[in-house]
């Protein structure tokens, strides 16, 4: 009975989004461009490794793509300048498509600087693209569909992580790195066509007031003074910090199970399946629970699953991986949906980009700290302690929103009391 209900809910979620023309087009654009990006990030590392034999230089590919995220508040301001977001999205896609074609000249170690430069610009344009896309979606998609859309977007992203890297590796093995770049460029051209078909009634954003510093910090100020957004974004950042710690321990955890390091592929596949499932169910769950409780329950599920890894057992390892995959995205979906609903249009690009920086940047710190701790302490002890501490972080999300609203109402900049 439960399986039938879940299947019906999932089908209804898909139909709700796909029956809406704009939501369906936006989702298709996310899927297509996400496929190309996921294919490129894997192939670029292999490409560098083949040309230089250096593991360190290969790892720099991912760093080059992710480093611009740290400048999210500044780059997000570009999405709030007095121009419409749809032409900005189309322009960003075409710029990236043209930029990727320059990689056909990378055929020796001496040309690798161009690959790293393209990846860095790719990452910076991606920050602007994501901010403009989220702002456009908030205008083009009905507010009642935002939770369903963001959940399906998460499902699509996780699905691409499972499929696209394999496709990218296959294309690279058969035709080389430039062909992967061409594939990614083609996905941006297709995404451009999808975004061009959107029927979005956009008003031209008002020019941001103040100097660049004031404009950049305005999104952060909105997040901090808003009683509903602040706990969600802080919980998202804390969750990704702990996710980095947990991710750094995965190979030590596999050692306790007595498996080879390649067993990580099994655990990540199961985790991805959990993320796909929660993405399909998040829309109905958000409507039933609200953003705060949905995020809190997801964090609690993740914390319990990480704590279970203190027990070296194959069945428990698979169950915990699926639970982590299902629980981890909840706060990310809830935070993005709340930001889209609770932020004025003129601030939306900066606020989304700032929220993404605050949520995802701590993951890098968590990976670094986790890599050090796993060398000093037993991974079973670390898992137990991490799970317990992680569980405590759900407390602010269960706080009475009315009291948070009274506190934030003292700030004149808050225009969205809970």
pLDDT in tens, 256-292: 888 876 677 678 778 888 888 888 888 888 888 889 9
Based on the domain organization, do 157 and 272 belong to the same domain?
no
In a domain, 335, yes or no: yes
Q: What Å distances lie between residue 181 and 40, 106, 109, 117, 167, CA to CA?
A: 7, 11, 17, 14, 12
Based on the domain organization, do 190 and 326 belong to the same domain?
no
Range of the domain at 25: 6-207
Angle at 164 between CA 366 and CA 73, to 5 degrees: 45
Q: Tell me the CB-side half-sphere exposure of residue 238, using CA atoms within 13 A.
A: 24
In a domain, 415, yes or no: no
Tokens 């701790």 correspond to 373
Q: What is the mean pLDDT of residues 373-388?
A: 89
In a domain, 1, yes or no: no
Based on the domain organization, do 188 and 278 belong to the same domain?
no
What CA–CA distance (Å, rounded) separates 393 from 13? 30
In a domain, 78, yes or no: yes
Q: What is the mean pLDDT of residues 74-102?
A: 84
pLDDT of residue 83: 67
Query: With contact defined as beta carbons under 8 Å apart, do 103 and 121 qualify?
Result: no
pLDDT in tens, 154-196: 777 777 767 777 788 788 888 888 999 999 999 999 999 998 8
Higher pLDDT among residues 64 and 185, named by residue:
185
When the pLDDT of each residue in the chain is averaged and rounded to a whole number, the result is: 81
Least confident of 78-87, 282-291, 357-366: 78-87
In a domain, 223, yes or no: yes
% of the chain beyond a pLDDT of 70: 87
Based on the domain organization, do 193 and 295 belong to the same domain?
no
| Boundary of a domain, candidates 207, 241, 263 | 207
pLDDT at residue 418 is higher than 70: no
Based on the domain organization, do 18 and 91 belong to the same domain?
yes
| Boundary of a domain, candidates 165, 187, 207 | 207
Closest CA to 413 of 207, 217, 223, 222: 222
Considering only CA atoms, give the Rg of the chain. Answer: 21
Based on the domain organization, do 231 and 199 belong to the same domain?
no
Based on the domain organization, do 193 and 283 belong to the same domain?
no
**Cα end-to-end span (Å), the chain:** 37
Which CATH number characterizes residue 311's domain?
1.20.1250.20
% of the chain beyond a pLDDT of 90: 23
pLDDT at residue 242 is higher than 90: yes
Q: How confident is the model at residue 405 (pLDDT cuts 50, 70, 90)?
A: very low
Based on the domain organization, do 165 and 264 belong to the same domain?
no
pLDDT at residue 4 is higher than 70: no
Based on the domain organization, do 260 and 315 belong to the same domain?
yes
How many CB atoms sit inside 10 A of residue 174's CB?
Answer: 8
Q: What Å distances lie between residue 328 and 21, 237, 280, CA to CA?
A: 29, 12, 14
| Boundary of a domain, candidates 207, 223, 238 | 207
pLDDT in tens, 323-333: 999 999 999 99
In a domain, 418, yes or no: no
Based on the domain organization, do 301 and 324 belong to the same domain?
yes
Q: What is the mean pLDDT of residues 87-97?
A: 89
pLDDT at residue 304 is higher than 90: yes
Based on the domain organization, do 194 and 291 belong to the same domain?
no
Tokens representing 291 are 């953003």
Tokens representing 348 are 């939306």
In a domain, 416, yes or no: no
Based on the domain organization, do 380 and 318 belong to the same domain?
yes
Predicted model pTM: 0.75
pLDDT of residue 410: 43
In a domain, 33, yes or no: yes
For the chain, how many structural domains are there in total?
2
pLDDT in tens, 305-356: 999 999 888 899 999 999 999 999 999 999 988 998 888 877 888 888 888 8
DSSP, residue by residue, 277-308: HHHHHHHHHHHHHHHHHHHHHHHHHHHHHHHH
pLDDT at residue 40 is higher than 70: yes
What CA–CA distance (Å, rounded) separates 60 from 57? 5
């Amino acid at each position: 009975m439960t399986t039938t209900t879940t299947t019906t809910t999932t089908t209804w979620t898909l139909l709700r989004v796909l029956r809406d023309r704009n939501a369906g087009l936006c989702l298709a654009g996310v899927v297509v461009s996400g496929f190309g990006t996921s294919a490129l990030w894997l192939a670029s590392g292999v490409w560098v490794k083949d040309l230089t034999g250096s593991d360190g230089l290969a790892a720099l590919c991912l760093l080059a793509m992710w480093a611009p995220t740290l400048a999210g508040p500044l780059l997000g301001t570009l999405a709030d300048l007095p121009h419409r977001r749809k032409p900005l999205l189309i322009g960003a896609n075409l710029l990236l498509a043209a930029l990727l074609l320059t990689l056909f000249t990378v055929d020796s170690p001496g040309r690798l600087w161009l690959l790293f430069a393209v990846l860095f610009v790719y990452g910076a344009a991606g920050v602007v693209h994501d901010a403009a896309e989220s702002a456009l979606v908030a205008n083009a998609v009905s507010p009642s569909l935002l939770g369903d859309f963001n959940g399906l977007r998460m499902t699509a992203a996780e699905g691409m992580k499972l499929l696209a890297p394999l496709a990218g590796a296959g294309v690279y093995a058969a035709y080389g790195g430039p062909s992967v770049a061409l594939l990614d460029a083609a996905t941006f051209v297709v995404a451009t066509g999808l975004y061009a078909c959107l029927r979005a009634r956009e008003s031209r954003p008002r020019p941001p007031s103040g100097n660049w510093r004031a404009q950049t910090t305005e999104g952060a100020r909105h997040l901090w003074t808003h009683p509903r957004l602040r706990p969600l974004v802080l919980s998202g950042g804390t969750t990704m910090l702990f996710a980095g710690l947990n991710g750094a321990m995965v190979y030590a955890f596999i050692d306790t199970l007595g498996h080879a390091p390649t067993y990580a592929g099994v655990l990540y596949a199961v985790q991805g399946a959990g993320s796909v499932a929660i993405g399909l169910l998040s829309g109905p769950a958000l409507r039933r629970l609200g953003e705060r409780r949905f995020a809190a329950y997801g964090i609690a599920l993740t914390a319990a699953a990480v704590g279970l890894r203190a027990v070296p057992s194959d069945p428990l390892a698979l169950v915990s991986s699926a639970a982590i995959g299902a629980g981890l995205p909840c706060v990310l979906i809830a935070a993005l949906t709340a930001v889209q609903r609770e932020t004025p249009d003129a601030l939306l690009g900066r606020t989304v980009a700032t929220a993404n920086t605050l949520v995802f940047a701590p993951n890098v710190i968590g990976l670094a700290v986790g890599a050090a701790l796993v060398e000093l302490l037993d991974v079973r002890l670390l898992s137990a302690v991490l799970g317990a501490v992680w569980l405590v972080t759900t407390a602010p999300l269960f706080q009475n929103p009315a009291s948070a609203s009274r506190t934030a109402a003292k700030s004149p900049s808050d225009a969205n009391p809970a």
